[in-house]
């Protein structure tokens, strides 16, 4: 007897011998969408295989063409094109009417790009300290000018370290290291963070001189798995990272204020960088939205070559 563990339905489908995956699921009452009737024309029967991928039949020509067109990762398969002969754990990806419409639009308009892939990245979050009172006190055009000067320097630093600026969120910048090939994403993220502190120090001379205010940034870095894919409505969708790592990087950034540091990194960043980076104090922090205390480490600089 072969079992298919089907999520998020929590249904186990059992059968003898081998079976077409879509037919097995439909036969067992799993509500899997299959708008084109199993002809590899719609992609709505797509599933993510968590275990048993190697035992599935290879993609048909039609499935391979669809997978290439939509840039599916290897673990995403069309159920209608796959034959199962060994235990399988999988998750349906088109779950409701809204998913169906989105998948159909992708098929109709040929929107290219990944639907999402799991990757390990270092996430850097940097934010301007005391921005709100400064923005309230200065004319908006001056604030925009100041932020643009910072973002311009920040993007140069991030990109020259092999990272990607993922987003500008108000006065904050979010960057990813490891989406593209990068040997040591955590080291690159920390070196970028140090670069951003330097950009802010230079800008601070200018801001003090012309506005009588200080300009400082705080940085947080975490490392781990995110889902990287297209997020947003069809016309405005863009690639971004979703995951707890992004939240932790943001919370670490905010925690700098509490402990009087400029850059804090998580344990997962710290452990991979000790040969290259000088660390200072360590802290056990309560981070908003996290259960239990999180260990964080202060970054002092890059170690001098020995
Ligand atoms: S049902 Fe349309 S691609 Fe499988």
Q: Which of 20, 24, 41, 104 is the pocket-test mutation for ligand 1 (most atoms within 8 Å of CB)? A: 41
Which carries the bigger pLDDT value, residue 234 or residue 243?
243
Residue 108: is its pLDDT beyond 50?
no
Q: What is the DSSP string of 114-133?
A: -S-EEEEEEEEEEEETTHHH
Grade residue 116 by pLDDT with cuts at 50, 70 and 90. Answer: low
Which carries the bigger pLDDT value, residue 105 or residue 140?
140
Interatomic CA distance for residues 156 and 164, integer angstroms: 10
Q: What is the CA radius of gyration of the chain?
A: 24
Region 155-184: mean pLDDT is: 93
Residue 164: is its pLDDT beyond 90?
yes
Q: Tell how far the Cα of 22 is from the centroid of ligand 1, in angstroms.
A: 9
Residues of the chain with CATH 3.30.70.1230: 117-302
Region 62-86: mean pLDDT is: 91
Which pLDDT tens digit goes with each residue over 5-51?
A: 999 999 999 988 999 999 999 999 999 988 888 888 888 899 999 99
Burial of 109 (0-12, 13-18, 19+ CB in 10 A): exposed
Residue 274: is its pLDDT beyond 80?
yes
Chain-centroid distance, C-alpha 28: 35
Which pLDDT tens digit goes with each residue over 202-240?
A: 999 988 888 888 999 999 999 998 888 777 766 677 788
Q: Tell how far the Cα of 228 is from the centroid of ligand 1, in angstroms.
A: 24
Site residues for ligand 1, CB cut-off 6 Å: 34-36, 38, 40-45, 78, 80
**Which ligand 1 atom is the nearest neighbour of the CA of 46?**
4
Interatomic CA distance for residues 166 and 175, integer angstroms: 5
Residue 139: is its pLDDT beyond 50?
yes
Superfamily of domain 2-109: Beta-grasp domain (3.10.20.30)
- Helical H segments across the chain, by residue range: 21-27, 61-70, 97-109, 131-137, 140-160, 185-211, 244-259, 267-273
Q: Tell how far the Cα of 46 is from the centroid of ligand 1, in angstroms.
A: 7
pLDDT score, position 87: 96
C-alpha angle 60/62/65, rounded to 5°? 110
CATH entry 3.40.50.1980 includes domain 117-302: no
Which carries the bigger pLDDT value, residue 82 or residue 113?
82
Residues of the chain with CATH 3.10.20.30: 2-109
């Amino acid at each position: 007897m072969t079992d298919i563990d089907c999520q998020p339905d929590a249904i186990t489908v059992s059968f003898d011998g081998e079976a077409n995956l879509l037919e097995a699921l439909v036969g067992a009452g799993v509500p899997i969408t299959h708008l084109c009737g199993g002809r590899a024309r719609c992609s709505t029967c797509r599933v993510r295989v968590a275990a048993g991928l190697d035992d599935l039949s290879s993609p048909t020509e039609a499935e391979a063409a669809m997978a290439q067109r939509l840039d599916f990762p290897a673990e995403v398969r069309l159920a209608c094109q796959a034959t199962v002969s060994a235990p399988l754990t999988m998750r349906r990806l088109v779950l409701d009417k809204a998913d169906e419409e989105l998948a159909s639009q992708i098929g109709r308009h040929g929107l290219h790009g990944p639907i999402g892939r799991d990757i390990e990245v270092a996430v850097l979050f940097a934010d301007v300290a005391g921005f709100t009172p400064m923005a309230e006190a200065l004319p908006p055009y001056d604030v925009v000018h100041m932020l643009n000067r910072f973002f311009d320097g920040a993007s140069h630093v991030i990109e020259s370290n092999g990272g990607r600026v993922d987003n500008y969120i108000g006065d904050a910048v979010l960057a990813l290291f490891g989406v593209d090939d990068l040997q040591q994403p955590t080291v690159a993220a920390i070196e970028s963070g140090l670069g951003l502190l330097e950009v802010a120090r230079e800008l601070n001379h200018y801001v003090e001189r012309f506005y009588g205010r200080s300009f400082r940034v705080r940085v947080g870095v975490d490392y781990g798995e995110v889902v990287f894919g297209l997020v947003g409505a069809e016309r405005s969708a863009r690639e971004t990272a979703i995951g707890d790592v992004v939240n932790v990087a943001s919370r670490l950034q905010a925690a700098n204020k509490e402990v009087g540091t400029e850059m804090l990194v998580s344990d997962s960043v710290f452990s991979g960088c000790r040969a290259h980076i000088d660390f200072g104090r360590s802290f056990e922090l309560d981070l908003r939205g996290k259960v239990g205390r999180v260990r964080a480490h202060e970054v002092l600089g890059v170690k001098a070559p020995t």
